[in-house]
Amino acid sequence: MDKYEDFKKQINSLLNIDLNYYKEKQMKRRITSLLTRNNYKDFDDYYLGIKNNKKILNEFINYLTINVSEFYRNPSQWHVLENYILPDIIKKCKGSPKVWSSACSTGEEPYSTVMLLSKFFDLKNIKILATDIDEEAMRKAKIGLYSEKSLQNLPLEFKNKFFDRIESSYKIKDTIKNCVDFKKIDLLKNPFPRDIDLLICRNVMIYFTDKGKELLYKKFFESLSNEGVLFLGSTEQIILPERYNYRSIKTFFYKKIFY
């Protein structure tokens, strides 16, 4: 049998990460380059390294999860969110909407969301959920120290209001941090929260197979409130969204159809 098949099984039982849902060609290429770089000769050999060496294990998880993010990533979509999507959601909800940033990485996405919500609500009334499979990324999110570059698309008023400059970095203020609850959720394995009014899932589905994406569209449907909105990343449009009971309301935004 292909050694990669064995490797996937071993990783699933050791780490509870199911590589079957990640695009195979891309994942195999990435892992092969990582193991070669570390002087392992094949997948069997590399698996032993992962199992027995914490450093190799952490490096593998880190590499696998691809944590790149930034504040207001693809800014035009955040403007659509502010001007078209949120006002509608807010009209429907009584208080601050239930928001879930579902692959939040190092926190730029949930913190951007809180800053945007602060235009509509008092910060003390905002609480959103942010989750990721990668606990190390969320540990960094909780520290909240960012480079100038990661803030390049953030509106200046937010940059000035919600960060303290520490040498060449920017530290996010506690008033924003306190509005986010971080929690580990594996999108492919764990149950989802319910009654979500705005579900943000950006730049993670590109790594999943069609089967993985389909699974998520269905799980997201269950997770959304009536007429809740799903906000996807730039290359992640749903083809024929009606098949999964969504209506496209703006590019990258889908509303749950409620019968």
Site membership for ligand SAM, residue 112 (CB under 6 A): no
Choose which of 10, 105, 150, 225 interacts with ligand SAM (CB under 6 A): 105
Q: Which two tokens stand for residue 32?
A: 């092969």
Closer CB to ligand SAM, 198 or 259, in the complex: 198
The residue ranges of DSSP E strands in the chain, in sequence order, are 99-101, 128-132, 145-147, 163-166, 169-172, 180-184, 196-201, 224-232, 246-250, 253-256
Helices then strands, each counted (H, E), the chain: 11, 10
DSSP string, 155-214: -HHHHHHHEEEETTEEEEPHHHHTTEEEEE--TTTSPPPS-EEEEEE-SSGGGB-HHHHH
Count of residues engaged in binding ligand SAM, rule: CB under 6 A: 21
Residues 186-245 that bind ligand SAM (CB under 6 A): 186-188, 202-204, 233
Closer CB to ligand SAM, 68 or 93, in the complex: 68
Closer CB to ligand SAM, 90 or 215, in the complex: 215
Write the binding mask 127 to 166 for ligand SAM: x where contact by CB under 6 A, - elsewhere: -----xxx--x-----------------------------
Residues forming the site for ligand SAM (CB under 6 A): 65-69, 73, 103, 105, 108-109, 132-134, 137, 186-188, 202-204, 233
